[in-house]
Amino acid sequence: MRSIFVLSLLVAAACSSTTSNGGSTATGPQKACEDTAAAVAKAAQRCGADYQMSYDQFTNAIGGCANIVQVRDEASLRSTCIPSLSTISCTDFMNGNLDASCKSQLLKAKAYEPPVHEVVTDVAAIVSEPLPY
């Protein structure tokens, strides 16, 4: 069975910082990244994968959410892309057939090449390099 996520245990910290009460202090692009990672992980969990491993694989594949400097269209990301992940079929999810509103939403600060064992095949559909202007 083909899977979006390589099924290996990754031991890595999530991309957010936390407050003393455990809440995230992330804002802006980093928060959008964390919310997207959570939506991807929930979809993966619904389709039989481990939530935390899926979340970690998504964030590790982009070098951490702190590496996200811009959201292409945050309104579309939040109103269409993220909600679509809660209803996407497992077949479409596993094949990377995401809603068009997810395309190139999270813009990275610099190129990041994940180690081979951390590759998440659908990250490229959501994350892209920053625009050259």
**DSSP-derived pairing of the beta strands 106-108 and 127-128:** parallel
Q: Residue 39, SS3?
A: helix
For residue 101, being part of any structural domain is answered with yes
For residue 99, being part of any structural domain is answered with yes
Mean pLDDT of 1-27: 33
In this structure, which amino acid lies at residue 119?
A: V
Distance CA 84, CA 14 (A): 23
For residue 16, being part of any structural domain is answered with no
Residue 92: count of CB within 10 angstroms of its CB: 14
For residue 2, being part of any structural domain is answered with no
Q: Is it the case that residue 83 has pLDDT exceeding 80?
A: yes
Q: How confident is the model at residue 7 (pLDDT cuts 50, 70, 90)?
A: very low
Mean pLDDT of 1-29: 37
For residue 41, being part of any structural domain is answered with yes
For residue 15, being part of any structural domain is answered with no
Full residue range of the structural domain in which residue 46 is found: 28-128
Q: How confident is the model at residue 3 (pLDDT cuts 50, 70, 90)?
A: very low
CB 55 within 8 A of CB 38: yes
How many domains, the chain? 1
Sheet holding 127-128, edge to edge: 68-71, 106-108, 127-128
Q: Give the pLDDT confidence of 41-57 residue by residue, as tens digits.
A: 999 999 999 999 999 99
* Residue 78, both tokens: 């939040």
